[in-house]
Amino acid sequence: MSREQIIADVHRQFDSGAFKDHLSRLVAMPTESQNPERAPILDEYIAREMKPLFEEMGFACTVLHHPMAKGPFLFAERHEGDHLPTIFGYGHGDVIRGLDREWKEGLTPWGLNDRNGTWYGRGVVDNKGQHLVNITALRAVLKAQGKLGFNAKYLIEMGEEMGSPGLKELCQERADLFRSDILIASDGPRLNAERPTLFLGARGGITFDLSIHAREGGHHSGNWGGILSDPAIQLAHALASITSPTGQIRIHEWVPKHLPDNVRRVLEGCEIDGGADGPVIDPAWGEPGLTPAEQVFGWCSFDVLAMKAGNPDTPVNAVPPSAWARCQLRFVVGIDVDDILPALRRHLDRHGFSMVKIEKARDEVFHATRLDPDDDWVRFVYTSLQTTSGKKPAILPNLGGSLPNDIFADILHMKTIWVPHSYPGCSQHAPNEHVPSKLFREALGIMAGLYWDIGSGKAPPV
Quote the pLDDT of residue 149: 97
The reply to whether 462 falls in a domain is: no
Task: Mark whether 156 and 255 lie in a shared domain.
Answer: no
The reply to whether 104 falls in a domain is: yes
The reply to whether 279 falls in a domain is: no
The reply to whether 93 falls in a domain is: yes
How is the chain split among helix, strand and coil, in percent rounded to 5? 35, 20, 40
Residue 290's Cβ-count burial label (10 Å; 0-12, 13-18, 19+) is middle
Distance CA 235, CA 225 (A): 17
The reply to whether 281 falls in a domain is: no
The reply to whether 283 falls in a domain is: no
Task: Mark whether 447 and 374 lie in a shared domain.
Answer: yes
Cβ proximity of 341 and 253 under 8 Å = no
Residue 256's Cβ-count burial label (10 Å; 0-12, 13-18, 19+) is middle
The reply to whether 142 falls in a domain is: yes
Question: Where a domain ends, among 341, 360, 379?
Answer: 360
Task: Mark whether 36 and 170 lie in a shared domain.
Answer: yes
pTM of the model: 0.91
Residue 212 belongs to domain spanning: 204-274+293-360
The CATH code of the domain that includes 186 is: 3.40.630.10
The reply to whether 280 falls in a domain is: no
Task: Mark whether 77 and 193 lie in a shared domain.
Answer: yes
Distance CA 34, CA 59 (A): 30
Each of the 462 residues of the chain gets a pLDDT tens digit; together they read 899 999 999 999 999 999 999 999 999 999 999 999 999 999 999 999 999 999 999 999 999 999 999 899 999 999 999 999 999 999 999 999 999 999 999 999 999 999 999 999 999 999 999 999 999 999 999 999 999 999 999 999 999 999 899 999 999 999 999 999 999 999 999 999 999 999 999 999 999 999 999 999 999 999 999 999 999 999 999 999 999 999 999 999 999 999 999 999 999 999 988 777 778 999 999 999 999 999 999 999 999 999 999 999 999 999 999 999 999 999 999 999 999 999 999 999 999 999 999 999 977 788 999 999 999 999 999 999 999 999 999 999 999 988 889 999 999 999 999 999 999 999 999 999 999 999 999 999 999 999 999 999 989 998
Work out the number of other CB atoms within 10 angstroms of the CB of residue 292: 17
Task: Mark whether 337 and 373 lie in a shared domain.
Answer: no
DSSP result, 390-441: SS--EEESSBSS--THHIIIIIS--EEEE-----TTS-TTSTT-EEEHHHHH
Cβ proximity of 243 and 299 under 8 Å = no
Task: Mark whether 74 and 180 lie in a shared domain.
Answer: yes
8-11 long-range contacts, Cβ below 8 Å, gap at least 24?
9/140, 9/144, 10/136, 10/137, 10/140, 10/444, 10/445, 10/448, 11/441, 11/444, 11/445
Q: Is it true that the peptide bond before 127 is cis, omega within 30 degrees of 0?
A: yes
The residue length of the chain stands at 462
Quote the pLDDT of residue 250: 98
Quote the pLDDT of residue 39: 96
Task: Mark whether 11 and 143 lie in a shared domain.
Answer: yes
The CATH code of the domain that includes 264 is: 3.30.70.360
Task: Mark whether 341 and 426 lie in a shared domain.
Answer: no
Going by their DSSP bridges, the two strands 113-115 and 86-92 should be labelled as: unpaired
Task: Mark whether 88 and 183 lie in a shared domain.
Answer: yes
Q: What are phi and psi of 4, to 5 degrees?
A: -65, -35
Please report, as a single letter, which amino acid is at residue 34: Q
Count of the separate structural domains present in the chain: 2
Question: Where a domain ends, among 360, 393, 412?
Answer: 360
Work out the number of other CB atoms within 10 angstroms of the CB of residue 118: 16
Task: Mark whether 91 and 129 lie in a shared domain.
Answer: yes
Task: Mark whether 446 and 328 lie in a shared domain.
Answer: no
Quote the pLDDT of residue 330: 96
Number of H helices, E strands in the chain: 15, 19
Question: Where a domain ends, among 331, 360, 389?
Answer: 360
Task: Mark whether 170 and 58 lie in a shared domain.
Answer: yes
